[in-house]
Structure 1
């Protein structure tokens, strides 16, 4: 969970307006405690935030520093209320370290009795928590006061001599100081109490090493419920995010009657091997399951669960299926290779290096380095403005990375990627039940849907269920937010995914009833209707599509059901050598709902006003009839609803490298200045009610941003191209016989 909280805080910061707090009033007094107290008082007045969860999450900490304890506790409860319906276990436990500390301070006037009162408050809170919340409580006390102290002192030093400080930085300092203060004064008391209470419930075997068949070493941790007698089914979680809090996740499943095993990716935790993400899961998970099924406490039945990389690893496990593996629950599963990470449709993302450092800098996870958005944006900016090749990104960051370079050597979906997960007909052999979860705004949605579609393509009788709704990456893993990126989700979307997942394990492994929520194979929430719908197949959404032609009638750019002169076109010219827009690109909000659209390096086409309400359910597809004065081009397409109130709602997006659009395994360069058809093979799924009076708005642009590699169109390996390859501006002509097919169902 720690990973999701870190990512959520990073995203929250993107919504804070660029305000500053003057430091003139405190003169040269930059002692940490004095500075923090000053900043907290200023933030209490100046801090504004549209996202309710983020607002209260920051304000309760600010009020703790300001010693407004009752207000702080009330705001902490407001944070919990955001997650109460979707994740009640986590909602009850989150912030407990602060609550216990506040209640102790409120009762304590003499430091001599602090320890005694703290234990009373700790036990009182612990006993009130439901079992599932007790199991995850330790993760809130898994913090190093020493590390926080170092980070705070560094941030304070950076502020020295400045006349003001950004609100974002002020918040970071206050948050870290508050966590440091609580950890320093109370965690030494909390941790022994937790261990004592947990030993009564669980037996934990940590640091188990097993040898793989190819002489690798992986580390396992096992958690057993002391009250559970006899042989048990096992929940296996394969993770690259090694950390003490993984045991807390295992305890949640053990509390529900399962043996729980954490498998750390080869090279992580106590493994002496090199860290090589994605490369060994298929073999190592097989060996781990083999070990599990031979233990005295195992009944030979294993299920897997987890999100993102953990979701990928479950599909890796099906590449070489162990007979003991009975079901998987991949959440927001990474589509490794060209599906969504480290490439989306053969276009590499800069974020891939940031993530590699996150998991490779040490045997655990480098949370502090990953969280440092300012540093990573400066790396992206330095690379972008330098015009150097994408291959130099790791060197520019100051830390060359062999895995990053190895990935760049494989821009096609070749044998290197194919060995990691099932490929084509290998999906036909996957005969275990699967429950997939993803979200319309999940960064790994394309991966999750790739596995879902391929499984049914090659196994018509697959038992594979899909839950998809208005969630981001963490939401698809059970941490559903009521509001994000400017969009407030429907109340119906706030479901308890953790409950459904546990019911699924009970259904498959313990022969209990199927989760009531799963009405059919595809279960999707229609945004704007506050209801869920169900379908027997995802393919049925391709049956009812309306075709809109992309055109230029010399007066406007339009989307029309009528095709005009196919020889006419809309022209887009992009100077790939221009790097004056770095800050502008890095500061893009990328909101789901917004008042304006970014209109540089793109063309925007609009439809007429919809005279009826429609349901958009499925994905848009189509073909671009274009010519370009280069041998290649990377394009993006964003589809919006222009609502009657004038705001734009992002429905779906798509990016692709034109030379791979027809085949992600083989690059076919474009003929220069010749009209060709580029298919839009969009592996997406979104559902939203579009109101009468709305318009469809399609944005088509050339990718030129610090967040993605830049395709100069020379025909060389894109990762090796430099700004010297830009030469004359790229010019793309989009002809009037280009079209998109949109799944609109009349309401």
Structure 2
């Protein structure tokens, strides 16, 4: 096809001026490499936006062109030790707050900046916005921490070490971004399978994957079992002093949602609501890599038209409101804006807590027959004494690890920043909300988990918040790893993941430190790290709950001895027997968060 027209309208890049490989000094003399994008048509200084990233400053070029064409300066910076920046990259290291502060103040002093500076980015660069803001640089005007991770909480949770920290270490080791190497999923999975067969702890995985990669050994081998890693988050004493407008973005299909919400709640606790007049959080139905796209799809789950929000334009409008005299984005009314899947519409609330009206109990009920995914127990709204369900956690159980070596033609995630590996079945990722229509990790349960299903709902049920499971269990070993998967089963046979949770039982109460289980003693295990979600379940749907052994290639195996994390050996392998109790004072119960549905 040949176009007749001889004149093509110039693209936004024609309106942008570039300062390439600009070296920015920091207080200790280390220089950070930056590309600076400026609007060509400007008179004097303009508001500036910074992103400093371990994923190559070049990945910020599309945003640089976009922001530059909209009249902002955009400064895309390689983190210390990455790309062309000097120094050593330590991953959320102690220098990051100082580097963020110095970047803000250096940019504010440039002749092309009017002194107003904002931060931008998601995931790692969502977290380092909090870190920088907690250092209180005087010229910082606003932050937009999207899908902000938090070490030890998201990705990962419950004290179970995951392979993500090794993938990420390989991705960001050295100076260049190893995205193509990390995308070689068959290589990575083969090494994981070898480690599984050898009963190795994840402490050895660094070497199996070709390491070390120049990171401190502690970062590669220490299990992330704390509710968060203080050295990887913003300074607690700095949170009350963050007095700039804050716009947060996350959602139930964001792999970092637990971390993003923890950042949100810590800030809310540190600074009262009347001192946060311009603090908003958006919980949309988007994947981790689509936070600024508003792409209305998670894996194979497609959402309604209302989910298709131009988040990049909303971001630009926010910056223009805060720094350039524009109107506040009309989308942002109340402090909390969340999308209700199933209903396919947006709701607002004064806080995350007020989005939930209360909880309703659903009791776990067993039976005497063999139980499995095809012969489940029940979820019932009224308590019933019933037999316990027994299953085993066997470190040698191979069903899940064999499944995870199979390509999964559905559920592929999306990330415009870099090439993603081809999709494989992955229980660890499913526990972050990935591939929400998959039933593979329930259908395969036979002897290593317990499944419970409700009767069909007689009317729609709208939920918003975080479920809680109070499970009374008896173990015959000092420790085990359990995960929980909660679904809506729809009348057409499809399913939607509502919320997952996972727990290494020794870490079941992080504030109390390590607490080994007492073999033979009924113990209340409270699962409190479910994903926040909002969904209207349809009449005729069922609830399904699975409590199961992890047994995943992607998660460090527990040999059930109670020895320190990472120091169990092949000779330590024990099978743990789990009994889930359903009777008397030991009734196990699922608490579902009822949505506070306002008149509409």
> Which structure 2 residues correspond to residues 36-55 of structure 1 after superposition, within 5 A?
none
For 2:312 and 2:44, how far apart are their aligned partners in 1?
Answer: 26
Q: Confirm or deny: 8 A CA contact 1:449 1:683 kept in the other structure.
A: no
Q: 2:443 aligns to what?
A: 598
Q: Confirm or deny: 8 A CA contact 1:319 1:421 kept in the other structure.
A: no
Q: 1:536 aligns to what?
A: 350
- Mark the CA change 1:283 to 1:553 in structure 2 (over 3 Å): closer, same or farther: same
> Which residue of the other structure, out of 328, 341, 350, is the alignment partner of 1:527?
341
For 1:673 and 1:424, how far apart are their aligned partners in 2?
Answer: 40
For 1:421 and 1:515, how far apart are their aligned partners in 2?
Answer: 29
Q: 2:169 aligns to what?
A: 356
Q: Confirm or deny: 8 A CA contact 1:385 1:582 kept in the other structure.
A: no
Residue deviations 1:456-494 (CA, integer Å, cap 9, x gap) = 1222222321111221112223261x4442212111111
- Mark the CA change 1:562 to 1:416 in structure 2 (over 3 Å): closer, same or farther: closer
Q: Confirm or deny: 8 A CA contact 2:460 2:537 kept in the other structure.
A: yes
For 2:364 and 2:236, how far apart are their aligned partners in 1?
Answer: 34
Q: Confirm or deny: 8 A CA contact 1:641 1:695 kept in the other structure.
A: yes
Q: Confirm or deny: 8 A CA contact 1:639 1:696 kept in the other structure.
A: yes
Name stretches of at least 5 consecutive residues in structure 2 with no aligned partner.
370-375, 407-424
For the residue of structure 1 that corresponds to 2:145, the secondary structure is strand
Q: 2:395 aligns to what?
A: 576
> Which structure 2 residues correspond to residues 52-91 of structure 1 after superposition, within 5 A?
none
Q: 2:118 aligns to what?
A: 303
> Which residue of the other structure, out of 508, 513, 516, is the alignment partner of 1:669?
516
Q: Confirm or deny: 8 A CA contact 1:631 1:713 kept in the other structure.
A: yes
Q: 1:734 aligns to what?
A: 580
Residue deviations 1:609-649 (CA, integer Å, cap 9, x gap) = 21111112111013221121222222211100111222222
For the residue of structure 1 that corresponds to 2:358, the secondary structure is coil
Q: 2:248 aligns to what?
A: 436
Answer with 682-691 or 648-657: which moved more.
682-691
Q: 1:17 aligns to what?
A: none
Answer with 574-583 or 226-235: which moved more.
574-583
What is the CA-CA distance between 1:223 and the residue it aligns to?
Answer: 1.9
Residue deviations 1:51-90 (CA, integer Å, cap 9, x gap) = xxxxxxxxxxxxxxxxxxxxxxxxxxxxxxxxxxxxxxxx
For 2:61 and 2:474, how far apart are their aligned partners in 1?
Answer: 55
Q: 2:417 aligns to what?
A: none
Residue deviations 1:502-537 (CA, integer Å, cap 9, x gap) = 111011112321101112111111112232111111
Q: Confirm or deny: 8 A CA contact 1:319 1:420 kept in the other structure.
A: no
Residue deviations 1:342-387 (CA, integer Å, cap 9, x gap) = x423222112211211121x42312221221121112222211221
What is the CA-CA distance between 1:204 and the residue it aligns to?
Answer: 2.1
Residue deviations 1:636-691 (CA, integer Å, cap 9, x gap) = 11100111222222111111222222126722222222111122213532111111
> Which structure 2 residues correspond to residues 287-686 of structure 1 after superposition, within 5 A?
287-335=102-150, 337-341=151-155, 343-360=156-173, 362-403=174-215, 405-408=217-220, 410-411=222-223, 417-422=229-234, 424=236, 426-461=238-273, 462=276, 463-478=278-293, 480=295, 482-554=296-368, 557-565=377-385, 568-579=387-398, 582-587=401-406, 588=425, 591-594=435-438, 597-600=442-445, 601-663=448-510, 666-682=513-529, 684-686=531-533
- Mark the CA change 1:569 to 1:365 in structure 2 (over 3 Å): closer, same or farther: same
Which runs of 4 or more aligned residues in structure 1 lie more than 6 Å from their structure 2 counterparts after TM superposition?
Answer: 413-416
> Which structure 2 residues correspond to residues 267-306 of structure 1 after superposition, within 5 A?
267-279=81-93, 280-306=95-121
What is the CA-CA distance between 1:546 and the residue it aligns to?
Answer: 0.4
For the residue of structure 2 that corresponds to 1:344, the secondary structure is coil
Q: Confirm or deny: 8 A CA contact 2:37 2:75 kept in the other structure.
A: yes
For 1:248 and 1:412, how far apart are their aligned partners in 2?
Answer: 34
For 2:182 and 2:220, how far apart are their aligned partners in 1?
Answer: 21
> Which residue of the other structure, out of 237, 243, 251, is the alignment partner of 2:51?
237
Residue deviations 1:276-303 (CA, integer Å, cap 9, x gap) = 2211321211111121122222222111
- Mark the CA change 1:746 to 1:448 in structure 2 (over 3 Å): closer, same or farther: closer
Name stretches of at least 5 consecutive residues in structure 1 with no aligned partner.
1-102, 108-119, 136-197
Residue deviations 1:132-175 (CA, integer Å, cap 9, x gap) = xx43xxxxxxxxxxxxxxxxxxxxxxxxxxxxxxxxxxxxxxxx
For 1:641 and 1:651, how far apart are their aligned partners in 2?
Answer: 7
- Mark the CA change 1:523 to 1:416 in structure 2 (over 3 Å): closer, same or farther: closer
Answer with 643-652 or 488-497: which moved more.
643-652
TM-score by length of structure 2 reads 0.86
Q: 1:258 aligns to what?
A: 72
For the residue of structure 2 that corresponds to 1:307, the secondary structure is coil
Q: Confirm or deny: 8 A CA contact 2:57 2:77 kept in the other structure.
A: no
What is the CA-CA distance between 1:257 and the residue it aligns to?
Answer: 0.9
For the residue of structure 2 that corresponds to 1:276, the secondary structure is coil
For 2:226 and 2:393, how far apart are their aligned partners in 1?
Answer: 31
User: Which has more radius of gyration?
Assistant: 1
Aligned residues: 555
For 1:675 and 1:690, how far apart are their aligned partners in 2?
Answer: 33
What is the CA-CA distance between 1:692 and the residue it aligns to?
Answer: 1.0
Q: 1:97 aligns to what?
A: none
Q: Confirm or deny: 8 A CA contact 1:308 1:444 kept in the other structure.
A: yes
For 2:180 and 2:511, how far apart are their aligned partners in 1?
Answer: 35
For the residue of structure 2 that corresponds to 1:347, the secondary structure is coil
